[in-house]
Amino acid sequence: MKRRAIPAMAAGVAVVLIMIWSFDPRKVLTVIARTEPRLFALAVCIQLVDLLLWALRWHLVLVRGGVKAPFRLVFAVNNVSMLVNNITPSARSGGEPLRVYLLARMTRYRARDIASSVVIDRVLDYFPLTLLLLLSAFLIAGSGGRGGILVILLGGVSFLTAALILSLWFLASERYVHRVARGVLRLLSRVSRRVRARRLWEELDEWVERFVKQLRELLQDRLTLIQGTLLSAAVWGCEILRTYVVFLSLGREVPLPVIVVSFTVSMFAGVLPLLPGGLGLVEISTASVYRLWGIDPGTSAAVALLDRLISYWMVNAIGVISLLRISRRER
């Protein structure tokens, strides 16, 4: 993973440097130099709350599925998962299998008891994200321009809806999950003797049956879906509020609709499996959207950089600390 991650991150940093150069480095540094520390600290606190909400949502799904893991452990594992998502070009999904593996390794539960919770945790993002996309499309249509971005956002709604329906249809089918699981085991058996063990193959049917059963039960649990969706809305609300406070820390008050649109556009840049965690792509896309709304180049680039300092680099640092703590706990 290191061989792939380091060159990819270097490419992302190069894209960031190109953005700074194109937006005039002197202006960017001048704007950053006047950052108000207390407001910037508030933005950092909002991000910390955001991380807690992410973990709380997964913890809620785990408990409803019968997995009673300590919240502190769930928080740490979730942070490590986000770190992996951010340092690998995997459309922000590379850390999901790691969540299952780490939590199973650190508790008495098996991976099959945890896997369905990760699926539901991702599904809970659908309604808030779709609402954000539709709201952004409405705001752009009301502004009377920027048709290209409008097409992207409406396309995003269609893509999210289609992906959700197909994914749930596939995962809720025991036959298709069984086929995929057998294919994965065959692939792994070529490189690992442990996977060749007859016990694993004998447990496959039980694993698939348990996974599909738990997934169906969680999808029918209205209370979990409602509470999880509300937590998801709070998560994405924190993301938008954090950026708004970063603008305030630079002495610039920007209408929330501008931030909502830039955030939704950056999400598409972030999930492209080209650069780790959208490094470079997110910065340049958000700064470009700010420029489209008439914000000066220095402020546009400065906000993009400071916001990612919190939401990307700080989150990665927390992920590394969480990984070290988990490693110590295992010893």
- Burial label for 88, CB within 10 Å (0-12, 13-18, 19+), is buried
Instruction: Work out the pLDDT band at 5, boundaries 50, 70, 90.
Output: low
Which residues fall within 8 angstroms of residue 257, CB to CB, at 6 or more apart? 139
Tens-place pLDDT, residues 275-324: 787 888 889 989 988 988 889 999 999 999 999 999 999 999 999 999 99
Q: How many CA atoms lie within 13 A of 171 on its CB side?
A: 22
DSSP state of 106: H
Cβ contact 91:272 at 8 Å: yes
Nearest to 287 by CA among 234, 232, 247: 247
More confident residue, 141 or 109: 109
Phi, then psi, of 12 in degrees rounded to 5: -65, -45
Nearest to 286 by CA among 90, 14, 23: 23
Which residues fall within 8 angstroms of residue 242, CB to CB, at 6 or more apart? 43, 46, 47, 50, 307, 310, 311
Q: Within 10 A of 147 (CB to CB), how many other CB atoms are there?
A: 10
Say if residue 147's pLDDT is above 90: no
Instruction: Work out the pLDDT band at 201, boundaries 50, 70, 90.
Output: low
- Cα distances from 176 to residues 94, 163, 167, 244, in angstroms, run 21, 16, 11, 44
Residues 203, 209, 215, 221, CA torsion sign: negative
Tens-place pLDDT, residues 253-280: 888 878 888 887 777 776 666 678 788 8
Tens-place pLDDT, residues 53-102: 999 999 999 998 888 899 999 999 999 999 988 887 765 666 788 888 88
pLDDT at 247: 96
Residues 26, 32, 33, 34, CA torsion sign: positive
Tens-place pLDDT, residues 33-59: 999 999 999 999 999 999 999 999 999
Instruction: Work out the pLDDT band at 196, boundaries 50, 70, 90.
Output: very low
Cβ contact 61:74 at 8 Å: no
Phi, then psi, of 135 in degrees rounded to 5: -65, -45
Mean pLDDT of the chain: 80
CA distance 133 to 189: 42
- Cα distances from 205 to residues 81, 149, 210, in angstroms, run 27, 46, 9
More confident residue, 113 or 204: 113
Burial readout 287-302 (b: 16 or more C-beta within 10 A, e: otherwise): bbbbebbebebbbbbb
Nearest to 232 by CA among 55, 57, 35: 57
Angle between helices 222-249 and 297-308 (to 10 degrees): 130
Helix locations, 272-314, DSSP H: 281-292, 297-308
Q: How far, rounded to the nearest angstrom, does the alpha carbon of residue 257 sit from its chain's CA centroid?
A: 22
DSSP state of 277: G
pLDDT at 240: 92
- Cα distances from 137 to residues 123, 244, 258, 264, 326, in angstroms, run 22, 20, 12, 10, 42
